[in-house]
């Protein structure tokens, strides 16, 4: 006889039903990251193609990134958790809330989606893929570490607070501020950083730049992990990708 499973506490950045096939959830992560990167690179390509919008600065990129993330998280979050960022996925695994096979599948899908989105954006605008950014040193790296730490604190703070509907808006608001206020433009996402190797225009990065950005982002994410562990001590959460707790009458 089956025993009804108690409903999981509502939260954000966690899939509604972790029993959904991993291939389906990973595909959603890949598609979502593709669309996110398409908006990020497309905004930059649009500014480049128009010769630059006077006085706009990073505003088009900020609006495109935050707006697309809000829509994508609301659209796909119930299926995959709406990460579209390997750091969110990996930190959930470090917290013991996601299986390793799920983590690997998500990160691969996110990275592939970012590359595809960057190339699609350049194809749409007829921009030749090339790295135009100089190798970053000093403040840009600190900028990426700080921007990423803030983003991860927002993500996991919303998730552990149990206020499911705040996540997408909080992330979008943080990124709008970070893109406008940080010298690096707040990539804050290794998948987007990888995708920036395959696009031209203002968001493009060279190989050396991208590697240093990812290292800075990883350091920022680990700092955020420490902050969240202090603010929200680890508690039992049924995070997506974790094996469901067996109940009587069900296979483990």
pLDDT score of 53: 54
3-state secondary structure 129-154: CCCCCCCCCCHHHHHHHHHHHHHHHH
What sign does the dihedral 16-195-109-40 (CA atoms) show? Answer: positive
Q: Phi first, then psi: what are they for 174, rounded to 5°?
A: -60, -45
pLDDT score of 17: 87
pLDDT score of 180: 72
- Mention every residue, 6+ apart, whose C-beta is less than 8 A from residue 236: none
pTM: 0.76
pLDDT score of 50: 64
Q: Where are the alpha helices (DSSP H) in 85-243?
A: 86-94, 100-125, 139-161, 167-181, 190-195, 207-231
* Architecture in CATH for domain 22-231: Up-down Bundle (1.20)
Boundaries of every domain in the chain: 22-231
Residue 127 and residue 41 in contact, taking contact as beta carbons nearer than 8 Å: no
CA dihedral 82, 208, 173, 116 (to 10 degrees): -40
Residue 208 and residue 180 in contact, taking contact as beta carbons nearer than 8 Å: no
d(CA 74, CA 81) in angstroms, rounded, equals 10
d(CA 131, CA 207) in angstroms, rounded, equals 8
| pLDDT one digit per residue (tens) for the chain, 252 residues | 444 444 455 678 999 888 889 999 999 999 999 999 988 888 877 777 666 555 566 777 888 888 899 988 988 888 999 999 999 999 999 999 999 999 999 999 999 999 999 988 888 777 766 554 444 444 788 888 888 998 998 888 888 877 777 888 888 888 887 887 777 778 998 998 999 989 888 788 888 888 999 999 999 999 999 988 887 777 544 455 554 443 333 333
- Please give the DSSP secondary-structure letter assigned to residue 23: H
The predicted-structure confidence for 189-221, as pLDDT tens digits, reads as follows 899 899 998 988 878 888 888 899 999 999 999
Q: Identify how many contiguous H helices and E strands the chain contains and give both numbers.
A: 8, 0
């Amino acid at each position: 006889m089956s025993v009804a499973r108690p409903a999981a506490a509502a939260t954000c950045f966690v899939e509604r039903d972790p029993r959904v096939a991993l291939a389906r959830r990973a595909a959603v992560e890949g598609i979502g990251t593709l669309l996110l990167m398409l908006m990020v690179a497309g905004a930059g390509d649009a500014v480049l193609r128009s010769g630059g919008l006077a006085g706009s600065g990073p505003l088009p990129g900020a609006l495109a990134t935050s707006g697309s993330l809000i829509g994508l998280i609301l659209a796909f979050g119930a299926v995959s958790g709406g990460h579209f960022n390997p750091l969110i996925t990996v930190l959930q695994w470090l917290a013991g809330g996601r299986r390793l096979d799920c983590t690997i599948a998500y990160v691969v899908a996110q990275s592939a989606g970012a590359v595809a989105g960057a190339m699609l954006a350049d194809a749409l605008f007829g921009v030749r893929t090339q790295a135009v950014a100089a190798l970053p040193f000093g403040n840009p790296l600190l900028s990426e570490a700080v921007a990423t730490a803030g983003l991860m604190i927002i993500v996991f703070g919303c998730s552990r607070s149990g206020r499911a509907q705040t996540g997408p808006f909080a992330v979008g608001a943080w990124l709008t501020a970070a893109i406008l206020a940080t010298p690096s433009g707040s990539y804050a996402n290794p998948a987007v950083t990888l995708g920036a190797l395959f696009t031209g225009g203002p968001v493009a990065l060279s190989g050396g730049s991208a590697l240093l950005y990812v290292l800075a982002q990883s350091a920022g994410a680990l700092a955020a992990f420490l902050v969240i562990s202090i603010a929200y001590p680890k508690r039992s959460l049924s995070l997506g990708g974790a094996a469901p707790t067996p109940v009587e009458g069900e296979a483990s």
